[in-house]
Amino acid sequence: MVAGFSTAPAVLGPGQSSAEGVTTGIDIDPMTVLTAVFVLVLAYAVARVLSLSLSALADRVAQHRFRVTMLIPLLKFAVYGTALYLVATTLFELTSTQLVAFSGLLGAAIGLGLKDLLADIVGGLVLVLEQPYQVGDKVALGEHYGEITDIGLRSTQLVTPNDTAVVVPNFVFLNQSVSNANTSDAEMLVVVEFYIDVDADAQRAREIVEEALVASPYVFVSPDHPTTVLVEDDRY
C-alpha cells in the first residue's frame, strides 16, 4: 500500500528564514528613522537643559561647585545611553542575540580604541571621591603648574602663571604625584625673591619689603601666618 502525504508551505513572519524560522533582519521604514531621530534630538535637548541648569546651580553654591559640575557629564552619559537603548530595543526591535552581539562589538571597540578615554573617566570618578584638589587650588600636575579653573570627567584645566591654559588628562592623577599648594584653603605660602644692588642698603630694603607685606591687601598676616624676610648674600 502506498501512503500519500500532503505538504503545505509554511507561513513565515517578516524577517524569518524558511529553514529555521528565526529573525535574520529588521525592517526599517521612514517612520522608524524619524522616530529614532526625534528620540536623539530630544535626548540632546534634555542633556542641554540639565547642563545649563546645573551650571547655574554651581555658580550659586560656590562651596559645592566642584561636585555639581562633575554631575554634568555623568547625567549626559545617562541621558544619551538611555536614548541609544530605546532606539536599539524599542524602535528597531533588536533581539537579545543581536543586543549581545552589539554589546560584544562595543566592548571590543572600547577595549581597543577608547582605553585612554576610560582611564580619564576613571580618574575623574576618583577625583570626585578623593578630591585631591578643587577649583582655585594651585597645583602641580605632571610637568604643569598653575591654578585649577575647571575639573571635568575627562580632564582638568589649569592656568599657568604666564596665563597659559593647559588641559591635563585625569589619568595623570592616577599615574603621577600631585602637589597642592593650598589644599582648598583661602591662603597659601608664597616665596618671593628680590635682588638688590651690592652697594644698596640691605637693611633699608628689608624694611621696605616688610612694610609692603603688612600694607598689601593681598597678603594675609596673622599670628598663625606670619611673614618672614630673609637676607642672604650670594657671592659668585
Q: What is the pLDDT of residues 98-131, one digit of tens each?
A: 777 777 777 776 666 666 777 777 777 777 777 7
What pLDDT is recorded for position 24?
47
Give phi and psi for 2, each to the nearest 5.
-100, 120
Which letter, b or e, does each residue of 24-49 get, where b requires 16 or more Cβ atoms within 10 Å of its Cβ?
Answer: eeeeeeeeeeebbeebeeebeebbee
What pLDDT is recorded for position 62?
65
Strands 165-169 and 138-141: unpaired
Tell me if residue 131 falls in helix, strand or coil.
Answer: coil
Number of Cβ within 10 Å of residue 106's Cβ equals: 12
What are the angstrom distances between the C-alpha of 174 and each of 16, 39, 112?
51, 37, 20
What pLDDT is recorded for position 57?
86
Q: Pick from 207, 213, 174, 171: which is nearest to 190 by CA?
A: 213
What pLDDT is recorded for position 26?
54
DSSP state of 16: B
What pLDDT is recorded for position 45?
92
What are the angstrom distances between the C-alpha of 213 and each of 189, 217, 222?
13, 9, 12
What pLDDT is recorded for position 116?
72
What pLDDT is recorded for position 42?
92
| Prediction pTM value | 0.51
Sheet holding 155-159, edge to edge: 165-169, 155-159, 144-151, 138-141, 178-180
Burial of 171 (0-12, 13-18, 19+ CB in 10 A): buried
Spans of the chain below 70 pLDDT: 1-28, 62-63, 66, 70, 91-94, 109-115, 184-187, 235-236
Q: Which residues pair with 146 in a beta bridge?
A: 139
